[in-house]
Amino acid sequence: MNSIFGKDFFKSFSDAAQCNLNIKAEGNNEHHKIESIFKAFAQAIKMAVTQSNNGIIPSTKESL
C-alpha cells in the first residue's frame, strides 16, 4: 500500500466525521508504519463506539 492512500483515507475520514486526527508514526519501513497506524486507529474507533453495561457510550465530558 502506498502511503498516499493512507493519507487520503484519514483525510476523508476526518472530513466526513468532522473531527481532528493526530497521527504520528516513527520508523524506517513505510509498510509497518501504515499497518500500525491502521491497527491503532481501528482499536481507538472500537473503544469510542463501545457501549458500557448500562447502554451508554462512555464519555470524558466534564471529567477532564
Global pTM value: 0.71
Backbone phi, then psi, for 32, in 5-degree steps? -70, -35
Closest-CA residue to 13 (of 51, 56, 43, 42): 42
The position carrying cell 497506524 is: 37
Q: 11-59, pLDDT tens digit by residue?
A: 999 999 999 999 999 999 988 999 999 999 999 988 888 877 777 766 7
